[in-house]
C-alpha cells in the first residue's frame, strides 16, 4: 500500500469518561492512524467502563474512502471496549449538512449511537446521560 503524508488533523483529550476530538478535515488514513496513536493512552484508560466521544468537526468534513473504512473499524473496536455513543458537533464545518450525513453514515455503519448537535453543552449533556444510562444498565446486570 502506498503511504501518503497525513492530511487532516485531529486533536484529542479527555474530560472524565468523554474522549474529546477536534477534527480539521479532510482526512486520509495516515491522519486517522496518527490521531489513533495519540489517543491510545486515553482509550486504554477509558476501556472497561462506558465512555463516549464528543467530536467537533471543522474544515472540509470528508474522509477519503480508505479513511472512511478505517474509521468504521476503529469505531467498532471502540464499541467493544465500552464506547456507548458519539455526540457530533458540525456547525463550524464548511458544510454542516454534508458533515451530518457523512459522519452519521460512518458511525451508523459501525454500529455506534450517534447524535448531531449545534451546541457543545447540549452535546455534552446528551453524552453524559448516555454514559450514565449504560453504566446503570451494567450495574443492573451484575
| pLDDT tops 80 at residue 44 | yes
Other CB atoms within 10 A of residue 63 CB: 24
Tens of pLDDT, residue by residue over 67-125, are: 889 889 999 999 999 999 999 998 788 888 888 898 899 999 999 999 999 889 999 99
| pLDDT tops 70 at residue 50 | yes
Strands 9-15 and 18-27: antiparallel
In a domain, 109, yes or no: yes
Instruction: Report the CATH number that the domain containing residue 133 is assigned in CATH.
Output: 3.30.750
C-alpha cell at 80: 467493544
| pLDDT tops 80 at residue 60 | no
In a domain, 44, yes or no: yes
Higher pLDDT, 88 or 24: 88
Burial-class residue 126 by CB neighbours within 10 Å (0-12, 13-18, 19+): middle
Rounded mean pLDDT of 117-140?
94
Q: What is the number of domains present in the chain?
A: 1
Amino acid at each position: 500500500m502506498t503511504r501518503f503524508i497525513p492530511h487532516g488533523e485531529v486533536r484529542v483529550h479527555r474530560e472524565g469518561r468523554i474522549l474529546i476530538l477536534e477534527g480539521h478535515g479532510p482526512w486520509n488514513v495516515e491522519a486517522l492512524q496518527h490521531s489513533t496513536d495519540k489517543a491510545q493512552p486515553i482509550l486504554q484508560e477509558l476501556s472497561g467502563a462506558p465512555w463516549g466521544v464528543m467530536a467537533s468537526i471543522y474544515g472540509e468534513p470528508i474522509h477519503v474512502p480508505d479513511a472512511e473504512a478505517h474509521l468504521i473499524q476503529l469505531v467498532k473496536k471502540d464499541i467493544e471496549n465500552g464506547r456507548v455513543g458519539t455526540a457530533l458537533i458540525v456547525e463550524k464545518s464548511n458544510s454542516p449538512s454534508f458533515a451530518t450525513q457523512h459522519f452519521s453514515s460512518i458511525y451508523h455503519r459501525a454500529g455506534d449511537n450517534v447524535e448531531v448537535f449545534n451546541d457543545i453543552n447540549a452535546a455534552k449533556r446528551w453524552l453524559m446521560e448516555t454514559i450514565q444510562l449504560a453504566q446503570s444498565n451494567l450495574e443492573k446486570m451484575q
